[in-house]
């Protein structure tokens, strides 16, 4: 487990945090105050309401401890309890189109959330351009989602090496699929819990302990066998994580408040000339 933490003001010109994650020099890069904390914090506060529903999707509703609330698509680029093998590429693109702009709209007309995300990622991309992933017919992938984890919920131990899913049929051949990087910025932190916990256990290691049935990981056994690190982030902070390579989870939330984040995935293209992002 190797990580690096720095303030946005200290990010060197043409920093290549993304390349460093690909090369395995780091598994996690935390950039404090990468975004305007006041802007993100205000959106997080407004979204953290039991009376105002901006249109949350709840793809894990049937599994209450994992009941993440999502804005930006009804068909995320990951397995969910609603779609355990991920959705089809068609359903993914339809979900992205139907929800296009809904997450960004939460920031109001004065803040270009997608542009800000692209600009922040570009500072960590080694001088490479950063572009939204697009289908062969030009349709855009979802640029990011906003996620809310309320009291008692969590994101269980997993990795995001999902290139074999149908929804990656067009994208994976364009990418260096050695890993997949998560980018996540915090809008609002919970009272307790909600830390990102990252393990030395690798997604391609068949020896990582699993529960009977072979599907879910055995968390206590993983915790006993592998080193881990915990990351606490506040409004405006960003992390990049080698989510395709490292097992990770989000600790159970103690709220209120809820934990509200925005994020997605990114990868280098095959030629290492561009960074593509999607959610
Ligand atoms: O912190 C989040 O909102 C999601 C964390 C996660 O599991 C990921 O980015 O892969």
% of the chain with per-residue pLDDT over 90? 98
Q: How crowded is the C-beta side of 153, counted as CA atoms within 13 Å? A: 22
Cα–Cα distance measured from residue 106 to residue 44, given in angstroms and rounded to the nearest whole number? 9
pLDDT at 236: 98
93: its two tokens = 């693109």
Is the distance from the beta carbon of residue 238 to the nearest atom of ligand 1 less than 6 Å? Answer: no
Q: Residue 167: which of 96, 231, 86 has the closest Cα?
A: 86
Give the tens place of pLDDT for each residue, 54-113: 999 999 999 999 999 999 999 999 999 999 999 999 999 999 999 999 999 999 999 999
User: Which is the closest atom of ligand 1 to the Cα of 78?
Assistant: 10
Does residue 197 surpass a pLDDT of 80? yes
Domain range holding 201? Answer: 3-278
pLDDT at 215: 81
Cα–Cα distance measured from residue 96 to residue 73, given in angstroms and rounded to the nearest whole number? 5
CATH (domain of 127) = 2.60.120.620
pLDDT at 214: 76
Does residue 251 surpass a pLDDT of 80? yes
Give the tens place of pLDDT for each residue, 153-175: 999 999 999 999 999 999 999 99
**How many structural domains does the chain have?**
1
∠ CA 182-186-191, nearest 5°, is 125
Is the distance from the beta carbon of residue 198 to the nearest atom of ligand 1 less than 6 Å? Answer: no
Give the tens place of pLDDT for each residue, 210-224: 998 878 999 999 999
Is the distance from the beta carbon of residue 250 to the nearest atom of ligand 1 less than 6 Å? Answer: yes
Entry pTM? 0.97
Q: How far is the CA of 10 from the centre of ligand 1 (A)?
A: 24
Look at 27-36, 42-51, 207-216 and tell me which has the smallest mean pLDDT: 207-216
Is the distance from the beta carbon of residue 160 to the nearest atom of ligand 1 less than 6 Å? Answer: yes
Please state, rounded to an integer, the average pLDDT across all residues of the chain. Answer: 97
Cα–Cα distance measured from residue 165 to residue 84, given in angstroms and rounded to the nearest whole number? 10
> The dihedral of CA 69, 73, 75, 78: what is its sign?
negative
Q: How far is the CA of 152 from the centre of ligand 1 (A)?
A: 16
């Amino acid at each position: 487990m190797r990580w690096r933490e720095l303030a946005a003001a200290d990010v060197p010109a043409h920093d290549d945090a993304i390349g460093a994650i690909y090369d395995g020099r780091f598994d996690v890069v935390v950039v404090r105050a990468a975004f305007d904390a006041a802007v993100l914090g205000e959106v997080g506060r407004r979204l953290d309401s039991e009376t105002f529903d901006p249109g949350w999707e709840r793809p894990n509703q049937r599994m209450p401890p994992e009941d993440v609330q999502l804005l930006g698509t009804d068909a995320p680029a990951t397995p969910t309890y609603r779609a355990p093998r991920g959705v089809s590429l068609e359903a993914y693109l339809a979900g992205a189109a139907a929800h296009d702009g809904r997450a960004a709209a939460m920031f109001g007309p004065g803040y270009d959330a997608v542009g800000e995300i692209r600009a922040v990622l570009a500072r960590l991309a080694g001088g490479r351009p950063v572009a939204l992933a697009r289908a062969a017919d030009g349709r855009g992938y979802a640029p990011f989602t906003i996620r809310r984890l309320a009291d008692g919920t969590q994101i269980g131990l997993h990795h995001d090496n999902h290139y074999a899913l149908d929804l990656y049929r067009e994208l994976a051949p364009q990418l260096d699929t050695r890993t997949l990087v998560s980018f996540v910025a915090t809008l609002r932190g919970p009272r307790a819990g909600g830390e990102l916990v990252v393990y030395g256990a690798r997604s391609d290691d068949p020896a990582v302990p699993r529960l009977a049935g072979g599907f879910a990981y055995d968390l206590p056994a993983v915790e006993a066998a592998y080193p881990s690190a915990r990351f606490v982030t506040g409004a405006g902070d960003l992390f990049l994580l080698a989510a395709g390579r490292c097992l990770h989870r989000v600790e159970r939330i103690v709220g209120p408040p809820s934990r509200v984040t925005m994020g997605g995935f990114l990868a280098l293209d095959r030629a290492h000339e561009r960074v593509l992002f999607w959610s």
